[in-house]
Amino acid sequence: MYEIVKTEYADGKYGGSDYGSSIRIVMRSLTHVMFVGYGVNIIERKYDYRVTSNIKICDKIGNIIDHKETIIDIFGEQSIDLLLNLKRGFGTILVDGGGDKLPSPSHVRKKLVMEEYESVTPTKVGLVPINKTCRFCGEALKPVLSSYSFDYNQIKDNPCFTSEDCQKFTNQLVYSIHGVDIRYKGMWDRISFFQYWDGETFHDDYFCSDKCAMNYGRKVVRDV
Ligand SMILES: [Zn+2]
102-132: b (≥16 Cβ within 10 Å) or e? bebbeeeeeeeeeeebeeebbebeebbeeee
Q: pLDDT above 90 covers what percent of the chain? A: 60
What is the distance between the alpha carbons of residues 176 and 173, in angstroms, rounded to a whole number?
Answer: 9
CA separation for the pair 150, 139 (Å, rounded): 32
pTM: 0.61
**pLDDT: which is higher, 167 or 68:** 167
Question: In the predicted model, is pLDDT for residue 63 greater than 90?
Answer: no
- Burial of residue 179 (CB within 10 Å: 0-12, 13-18, 19+) is buried
| Rounded distance between C-alpha atoms, residue 214 and residue 29, angstroms | 66
Q: What percent of the chain is modeled with pLDDT above 70?
A: 93
Instruction: Judge contact between 148 and 196, C-beta under 8 A.
Output: yes
Using 50, 70 and 90 to split pLDDT, how confident is the model at 83?
A: confident
Q: Which residue has the higher pLDDT, 38 or 127?
A: 127
Q: How far is the CA of 137 from the centre of ligand 1 (A)?
A: 4
Taking a 5 Å cut-off on Cβ, the residues next to ion ligand 1 are 134, 136-137, 139, 208, 212
Please state, in angstroms and rounded to a whole number, the distance separating the CA atoms of residues 123 and 121: 5
Q: How far is the CA of 123 from the centre of ligand 1 (A)?
A: 26
Whether the predicted pLDDT of 62 surpasses 80: no
C-alpha span between 178 and 172 (Å, rounded): 17
pLDDT at 67: 83
- CB of 193 within 8 A of CB of 148? yes
Instruction: Look over the chain and give the mean of its residue pLDDT values, rounded to a whole number.
Output: 89
Q: Which of the 8 DSSP states describes residue 214?
A: H
Find the 134 Cα to ligand 1 centroid distance in Å: 5
More confident residue, 61 or 99: 99
